[in-house]
Amino acid sequence: MQYKNLGDCAKIKFCSITPSRSKKQKAFSKWLVCANFMTDNVVADNPTVNNVVPDVEWLMRRNDIVVKRITPTYVNYIDYDPGEVYCGNNLIIITPNLETDAKYIAMILNDRISELSKTSSIGAVMKSISRYDIESVEIPLPDESKRQIIGELWYKSIELKKKRIRLTELENVRMRYLINSTINISGGNRNA
């Protein structure tokens, strides 16, 4: 099987807002920060609005993979068009090349991100990822159809997990409704 380094399969952008970029501008821009990126491929869509000068390199796009640079434990595959939203400090945007399946790369990175963080930050107080270490991640490259199938299977398993969690939440709402309506019917709420 052929292997390539991630740096050869994708464009890797480290987002870092320097003081020179903190200059005010008239137009506001939308930014996602580390706290917006949660496990199971969930991105809390409540961007921070500020007037930092945005760099087009930090614009988040469909099929990008976003990783926290500090204390990473998972990756987020962007499966929607986020519009004009930028990634903030300490985030890494990975844009796979057109010939590499983004979901497959996300699956490989998600599987290796915790170990990569441990080996990249020996002696550090907080685990983090260096440019060299992320670019050096070896990506196994089976044929293209297998990569697509594997990537899609990973993505569908996450989507199924989210649907199961949502179903459990709805079952709890239903149960609370049934209990409350039963209490009200039998005269349990008479403290008025």
> So what's the pLDDT on residue 19?
58
Confidence at 125, pLDDT banded by 50, 70, 90:
low
* Separation of alpha carbons 133 and 179, rounded Å: 54
User: What pTM does this model have?
Assistant: 0.82
Instruction: For residue 34, give the amino acid letter.
Output: C
Q: Is the pLDDT of residue 115 over 90?
A: no
* Separation of alpha carbons 150 and 117, rounded Å: 24
> So what's the pLDDT on residue 183?
83
Q: Is the pLDDT of residue 124 over 60?
A: no
Q: Tell which residue, 172, 168, 70, has the closest CA to residue 113.
A: 70
The structural domains of the chain, with segments of one domain joined by +, span 2-185
Q: pLDDT, tens digit, for every residue of 53-88?
A: 778 889 999 999 999 998 888 999 999 999 889 998
CA distances for 146 relative to 38, 142, 179, angstroms: 28, 6, 49
Q: Which residues pair with 75 in a beta bridge?
A: 67
Interacting residues of 95 by C-beta distance below 8 A, sequence separation 6+: 10, 11, 13, 61, 63, 64, 65
**CATH top class, domain 2-185:** alpha beta
Percent of the chain exceeding pLDDT 70 equals: 88
Q: pLDDT, tens digit, for every residue of 20-56?
A: 555 666 778 888 888 899 888 888 877 877 767 778 8
Q: Give the 3-state secondary structure percentages of the chain, helix then strand then coil, rounded to 5.
A: 40, 25, 35
